[in-house]
Structure 1
Amino acid sequence: MLLFTSAFAQDKRSKGDSYFFQYAYNQAIVEYEKQKAEGTLTPQQELNLADAYFKTNAYDKASKLYLEAYKRDTLMGNHHFNKMLQSFSKVGNTERVDAFLATKSGQLEQELLENADFNRELLESNTAGELQFEIFNMGSNSPQSDFAPAFFKERLLFSSGRPQEKKKQYAPMGESYLDIYVGRIGPNGEVLNANPFSGIPQSDYHKATPYYSEALNAILYVLSNTENGELAFDDNGKNALSIAMQVVDGQFRLLLRDLSTSFYYPFYEAETGKLYFAANFEDGYGGTDLYYVYTNNGQIMSAPVNLGPRINSPGNEIAPFVFESSLYFSSDVFYGMGGMDIYKSNFEEEGNFSIPVNLGPGVNSKDDDFGFIMRNEGDGLLGYFSSNRPGGRGKDDIYGFKVDEKPGLKTIALRGKVVKPYDNDEGVAKAAVRVLDKNGAVLKEVYSDEDGNYRLEIPWREEVTLQATKDRHSIFTEKLQFLEGLDQKEGFKVDIGLSLYDDLVEEKEGQKVVKLDKFYFDRGLAKITPEIAKELDKVVEFVQQFPAVQLRIETYTDSRGGSSANFRLTQQRSDAIKKYLLDKGVPASNILYSVGYGEQKILNNCHNGAFCLEMLHKQNQRSLIVVLNDNVMFE
């Protein structure tokens, strides 16, 4: 009942096709198997047969047929690829799922692979169901399908296929065309006195998945496309669903309508003016994807925007619901617990989303779970969702729940930019950025993009170490601590500085030296002045960034003064430099020598007795920090 559209083909179909498109899957299997035995089953009909087995929970047979179609690689798109992986997962063949993911890793969205790894690790760790949910089946459920709950002041709207005296039958499902019902929410969360909702225009066909916007004072819902009171079809004989808005006691307006595209599950976010919905556009990532459009007082003001591969998958995504900076939705992507599972993703900066987290066994089951909503109620939260899990009253039932805090595993989303610390505008591409736990084990590793940006996400921990490395670059390490309750709306921004070794050294006098601006000691003195200290601090930072470096301090002077006195002075200056570096925390093991050369290496013609200008004498006054192991630093 999730994706309820009617299709009546104008071309010639087999008996198997007729049953398949009326959702009579068991009968379709019988007819398709007859065709297969006769050798008349087309590749498309073989995919239909696989889908029919999938719909009737015969996952082993479905997986074999999907695999045959995959090997032919003619008709199988992303949506059927997801179903194939779901089938393998259902029969416990996770090794084959991993093998297919590895084979197609270059063709699949990177976000899909990250989402899959994260959620599978999460579900295996048993940390997803830490919250204690008080879940109860609604007494107002019927033997038919009841789903898509929505808050309407102190009442609850929902969709139902229960029969009505004047409501037409929807032949493929054997139920009445869907309608919207309303009931009062009792003190314990039960829905009382459920009756057809009269606040929207009457129709003989589908009206479903309502959402009430207090800001618009309007009901948004989906309805069958009709013309003059009868179903309207596109050129291929398809009847789709539109989204309409009914202002309470006011105007009715169609918002989204396309005869070839179905729209589902509207949700209006008053803060941004965005109308979220699910739709089956042909250029999506799989079956139905989640989209939004910008609105002005409910009037559509933009083209649909796909929420992207962090949210949408090769499967079906439906039922968006925003609550306190988090997006809740349902998906039947292959790495979930069952059919449809409910996921939570946090909004981040610049329209990005955190990795969607499976809500786990507290809410999700091996069957379809979808249509999740909740609100603050007393000291906790009251919510509802739909499920076709065993033990219900009908095909889909609405379940209520109470919980003390927002469901969904807490995560840490780290993002930022890897830059050269001496040039913050220049990003460092392809740097390895990793998160380590308290014991030094790697929890997650990613690489910065071409602009130096990185993003990673892990389950919540009180303390982690962020580390970044790249060949011929410094190593970045920073310990991060997190407090419970810290706002994680936009993730934690941590910029990383990595220095390129070749930017910090240069060739001088036939040897590799630390790159410094030239500095001078006061005449006849070995005192470290503030100007000299500023340059020596660069050496301190250089050693911190490259702790394996081995240094020799060399100091020279000009030819003025006695030779012995110049030797003593330059030795005193080299020793003063060494002492400053040691006092600033440079390990003694990094400074192998400190040498004063006096006037041994004059760089120009200003030898003893020669007349030279002061500027020429100053060319010979210099200190060099020589890197002795430059040739083996990165071997």
Structure 2
Amino acid sequence: MRFKIIIVFLVFIPFLSTAQDKKSKADNLFYGYQYEKAIAAYKSEMQKDSLTNNQLLNLADSYFSTGNYDSASELYLKVNKNDTIMSVNRFNKMLQSLSKNSEKDRVKTFLRSKADKLSPELLENAEFNYSLLEIPSNNDNSTIRDLAVNSPQGDFSPAFYKNGVLFSSSRGRNTKNVYEPTGESYLDIYFARLSSNNQLVDVETFSEIPATDFHKSTPYYSDKLSTFFYILSNTEEGELRYDENGKNSLAIGTLSDTGRFRFILKDLSTSFYYPYYDDNTDRLFFAANFDDSYGGTDLYYVYTNNGQIMSAPINLGPRINSPGNEIAPYIFNGSLYFSSDIFYGFGGMDVYKANMLLNDSFTIPVNLGEGINSTSDDFGFIIKNDEISGLSGFFASNRKGGKGGDDLYAFNFKNDPGLKTFALGGKVVNLKNKAGIKGAQVRLLNQQGDVIKEVASTADGSFRVEVPWMSQITIQAMSDGYSIFSTTYSEEGMEEIQNASYNMGLSKMEDLVTEIEEKTVLKLNKFYFDKGKSTLNPQVEAELNKVVDAVVRFPQMRLRIQSHTDSRGSNSYNKKLSQQRADTIKDFLLKNGLNSSNIIEATGYGEEMIVNNCKNGAYCLDFLHKQNERTLFVVE
């Protein structure tokens, strides 16, 4: 059944609508989901006249839905080459077809050729997950088992409820109503008790939600609100309601513990799927096929006040939503789990996990890997932390070996599912004026010093980078004409910095230097050693730390340390004192990050280069003598 049971299965368009009467026999078969017959009819029509590009795409979709990916990809590529009518969702199907034919290298080449036309999030998500799926899976982390409660019909959309699990099914019930596109019963909600050995038993129709003659599906129960959220067919006085195009869509309704029912998201032309209410933020997440989607069905949320809708739907954005279909949102331990049929997965719908960041953004969704995912459709993932069984939960799949179109599966994890990643976002800015620096290189290095990821900052200096988790990471930023930023973090520091905006300041060389005595020198506050001494004091150390910082930012910087005294004291004494001070400065710098290549020389000049008239024997006030006592860091 593939995706039909969760999307096509839920949206009914009468075969005899006015719009479809104007179409060919093949078109009517296609829009009636009779794909095998549609293929035969399109082939027959092709003998009489050429098909339009829209019809070619319908034929490609028919091949795709029946598993003939060679023919599907051939047609998708043909239309994509000759016309621009292909939707992003069909673009995804084209790449899915190539992937299913083991042509991933061709997909990657195609992505590179279209890089300027595709979103950076899609390209980054694809690159990351392609690399991830090349890593051998660790099957020791999970156990997966099918369940005895499954039926020959479709069973899917599990949801925790009290001492058991709610789920959706098209198994037979006491009604003569049949959903025409599938010939099966309309979807209903069932309950199975969770036994002591974590099995689902004692399946029965869930009677707490009122019966309907049409679809009723994908339930979620909010403990905070004591309320059920679920989808159901749009009806009026017991009859299906259609929009002007003859489409009956699905709405989201709620049922409180007092028995009050109300529709909360309803539109005759838009279907809503998979409600999930986040008790922590009072946001209702769901899937829908709005016009602003990035592909097919996208994930959205609305703000609520105790379940009452308080905002327009907000799209989760291109980091989560793709040219494919995204469904079944579920939040656990700060991570969003959902399913997508995007082309870079194993095959059909796969389960992904993205960490939720503080600014309502997300890390790259990572494929949960083989086991939970297969070459078939895997979706409706739910998880909880059980005192006895640890991390456990359920999902649905139409993989081989099941009883019906979609079956329920249980799982246990030893550790958190999915690859842990390190994600960092922020800005590269000019330290002087805090303006963002465009095109700065942001690099992540591993413990061995190898560059594992490199990105460029955007026009306002923003960047975002993500890599698999590691025990230590070095973050660098650099740009032509600017200094280098480089800092290393252990795991504890990595956890802390990825939850906030990380800004890196770079300096221009011209902002760090000035002209003194016709020399280019580092710009520092003037400092003085204690009288007659060459040991460091806090004032001297503070300025020397600025020298260290400047060289760290510009590792190729080369300095001449030039120390001078005033004329008080003998020439030989001043010469010796200034050299001692120059040597002390050099030793400090070498011990604090500089190397010998950064220091060309360290020379004490004594009173050889007096800058005023305070020479031997001249009477001068103290502040005039201090003009001669100075240390310069000459930049070569």
Give distance in 1, aligned partners of 2:364 and 2:378.
19
> Which piece of structure 1 moves more, 142-151 or 432-441?
432-441
Structure 2 length normalisation: TM-score?
A: 0.90
Pairing partner for 2:71 from 54, 61, 71: 61
Name the Cα RMSD after superposition: 2.9
Determine if contact 2:422/2:498 at 8 Å carries over to the other structure.
no
Give distance in 2, aligned partners of 1:160 and 1:626.
79
Determine if contact 2:329/2:337 at 8 Å carries over to the other structure.
yes
Determine if contact 2:358/2:500 at 8 Å carries over to the other structure.
no
> 2:551 — aligned with what?
543
Pairing partner for 1:83 from 93, 99, 106: 93
> 1:213 — aligned with what?
222
> 2:6 — aligned with what?
2
Give distance in 2, aligned partners of 1:160 and 1:489.
45
> 2:525 — aligned with what?
517
Determine if contact 1:267/1:275 at 8 Å carries over to the other structure.
yes
1:353-432 to 2 correspondences below 5 Å: 353-377=362-386, 378-418=388-428, 425=434, 428-432=437-441
Residues 314, 513 of structure 1: alpha-carbon distance in 2 compared, 3 angstrom cutoff: same
Residues 394, 506 of structure 1: alpha-carbon distance in 2 compared, 3 angstrom cutoff: same
> 2:39 — aligned with what?
29
Pairing partner for 1:595 from 603, 615, 628: 603
> 1:139 — aligned with what?
148
Could you tell me which amino acid in structure 1 is paired with residue 44 of structure 2?
K
Residue 321 of structure 2 is aligned to residue 312 of structure 1: yes
**Alpha-carbon deviation of 1:39?**
2.0
Could you tell me which amino acid in structure 2 is paired with residue 159 of structure 1?
S
Could you tell me which amino acid in structure 2 is paired with residue 590 of structure 1?
N
Could you tell me which amino acid in structure 1 is paired with residue 241 of structure 2?
A
Structure 1 length normalisation: TM-score?
A: 0.90
> 1:321 — aligned with what?
330
**Alpha-carbon deviation of 1:416?**
4.8
Pairing partner for 1:17 from 23, 27, 42: 27
Could you tell me which amino acid in structure 2 is paired with residue 278 of structure 1?
A
**Alpha-carbon deviation of 1:164?**
2.6
Give distance in 2, aligned partners of 1:279 and 1:536.
60
State the SS of the aligned residue for 2:181.
helix
> 1:169 — aligned with what?
178
> Which piece of structure 1 moves more, 302-311 or 210-219?
210-219
Residues 580, 213 of structure 1: alpha-carbon distance in 2 compared, 3 angstrom cutoff: closer
Pairing partner for 2:210 from 201, 208, 211: 201
Pairing partner for 1:299 from 271, 295, 308: 308
Residues 533, 197 of structure 1: alpha-carbon distance in 2 compared, 3 angstrom cutoff: closer
Residue 127 of structure 2 is aligned to residue 117 of structure 1: yes
Pairing partner for 2:268 from 253, 259, 267: 259
State the SS of the aligned residue for 1:465.
strand
Pairing partner for 2:470 from 455, 461, 469: 461
Report Cα offsets for 1:155-193 as digits up to 9, x if no partner: 322111123332411111111121212222223333323
> Which piece of structure 1 moves more, 506-515 or 90-99?
506-515
State the SS of the aligned residue for 1:203.
coil
> 1:506 — aligned with what?
514
Determine if contact 1:112/1:310 at 8 Å carries over to the other structure.
yes
1:485-504 to 2 correspondences below 5 Å: 491=499, 496=504, 498-504=506-512
> 1:439 — aligned with what?
448
Pairing partner for 2:114 from 90, 104, 109: 104
**Alpha-carbon deviation of 1:255?**
0.6
1:567-578 to 2 correspondences below 5 Å: 570-571=578-579, 573-578=581-586
Determine if contact 1:348/1:489 at 8 Å carries over to the other structure.
no
Residues 560, 156 of structure 1: alpha-carbon distance in 2 compared, 3 angstrom cutoff: closer
Residue 97 of structure 2 is aligned to residue 93 of structure 1: no
Determine if contact 1:147/1:159 at 8 Å carries over to the other structure.
yes
**Alpha-carbon deviation of 1:505?**
1.8
Residues 194, 326 of structure 1: alpha-carbon distance in 2 compared, 3 angstrom cutoff: same
Determine if contact 1:346/1:489 at 8 Å carries over to the other structure.
no
Give distance in 1, aligned partners of 2:282 and 2:598.
60
Pairing partner for 2:561 from 548, 553, 562: 553
**Alpha-carbon deviation of 1:34?**
1.7
Give distance in 1, aligned partners of 2:221 and 2:383.
13
Determine if contact 1:151/1:157 at 8 Å carries over to the other structure.
yes
> 2:238 — aligned with what?
229
**Alpha-carbon deviation of 1:198?**
2.0
> 2:55 — aligned with what?
45
For structure 2, the 5+ residue unaligned runs are none
Could you tell me which amino acid in structure 1 is paired with residue 630 of structure 2?
R
Determine if contact 1:246/1:252 at 8 Å carries over to the other structure.
yes
For this pair of structures, how many residues does the alignment match? 625
State the SS of the aligned residue for 1:361.
coil
Determine if contact 2:439/2:457 at 8 Å carries over to the other structure.
yes
Residue 481 of structure 2 is aligned to residue 481 of structure 1: no
**Alpha-carbon deviation of 1:105?**
1.3
Give distance in 2, aligned partners of 1:162 and 1:488.
49
Residues 587, 326 of structure 1: alpha-carbon distance in 2 compared, 3 angstrom cutoff: closer
State the SS of the aligned residue for 1:344.
strand
Give distance in 1, aligned partners of 2:230 and 2:543.
68
State the SS of the aligned residue for 1:189.
coil
Give distance in 1, aligned partners of 2:200 and 2:491.
40
Give distance in 1, aligned partners of 2:158 and 2:141.
22
Determine if contact 1:128/1:409 at 8 Å carries over to the other structure.
no
Give distance in 2, aligned partners of 1:39 and 1:272.
57
Pairing partner for 1:183 from 184, 192, 201: 192
Could you tell me which amino acid in structure 1 is paired with residue 6 of structure 2?
L
Give distance in 2, aligned partners of 1:349 and 1:490.
9
Give distance in 2, aligned partners of 1:507 and 1:387.
72
> Which piece of structure 1 moves more, 345-354 or 560-569?
560-569
Give distance in 1, aligned partners of 2:116 and 2:374.
31
Determine if contact 1:82/1:333 at 8 Å carries over to the other structure.
yes
Give distance in 2, aligned partners of 1:385 and 1:118.
24
Could you tell me which amino acid in structure 1 is paired with residue 196 of structure 2?
P
> 1:631 — aligned with what?
none
> Which piece of structure 1 moves more, 540-549 or 173-182?
540-549
For structure 1, the 5+ residue unaligned runs are 629-635
Residues 19, 416 of structure 1: alpha-carbon distance in 2 compared, 3 angstrom cutoff: same
> Which piece of structure 1 moves more, 533-542 or 143-152?
533-542
> Which piece of structure 1 moves more, 491-500 or 269-278?
491-500
Could you tell me which amino acid in structure 1 is paired with residue 549 of structure 2?
E
Could you tell me which amino acid in structure 1 is paired with residue 403 of structure 2?
R
State the SS of the aligned residue for 2:321.
coil
State the SS of the aligned residue for 2:511.
helix
> Which piece of structure 1 moves more, 217-226 or 154-163?
154-163
State the SS of the aligned residue for 2:77.
helix
Determine if contact 1:167/1:177 at 8 Å carries over to the other structure.
no
Report Cα offsets for 1:323-351 as digits up to 9, x if no partner: 12111111000000011011111111111
> 1:626 — aligned with what?
634
Report Cα offsets for 1:254-275 as digits up to 9, x if no partner: 0100111100000111111111
Residues 617, 190 of structure 1: alpha-carbon distance in 2 compared, 3 angstrom cutoff: closer
Could you tell me which amino acid in structure 1 is paired with residue 109 of structure 2?
A
Could you tell me which amino acid in structure 2 is paired with residue 431 of structure 1?
A
> Which piece of structure 1 moves more, 327-336 or 461-470?
461-470
Determine if contact 2:437/2:457 at 8 Å carries over to the other structure.
yes
State the SS of the aligned residue for 1:540.
helix
**Alpha-carbon deviation of 1:246?**
1.0
